Amino acid sequence: MQTNQKIFLPKMGCGTWAWGNRLLWGYDESMDEELQAAFNLCVSSGVTLFDTGDSYGTGKLNGRSEQLLGQFSQQYQ
């Protein structure tokens, strides 16, 4: 059965590959406050799509982008 449902995606999203990736992006935990500010700006500007993955991060930081996204969402003001 086919329906006429439409899917609406936001015009812009935010990629989080660098959140936790030391190897390619030079991530360091001291950046988290700045990343929170970037997240806040995105959300306050209407961004609702955040591209993340459990492999975003390097070594023991695998999944860091997802952890930060959850933390930033909870702390969003």
Q: Which candidate in 27, 50, 56, 72 is catalytic?
A: 56
Q: Who's near 42: CB < 8 A, 6+ residues apart?
A: 14, 50
Distances (CA, A) of 37 to 19, 34, 59, 73: 13, 5, 25, 11
pLDDT tens digits for range 2-55: 778 888 877 889 999 999 999 889 999 999 999 999 999 999 999 999 998 777
Task: Output the six-digit token pair for 44.
Answer: 């306050």
59 pLDDT exceeds 90?
Answer: no
Phi, psi of 51 (to 5 degrees): -85, 115
* Residue 56 annotated among the catalytic residues of the structure: yes
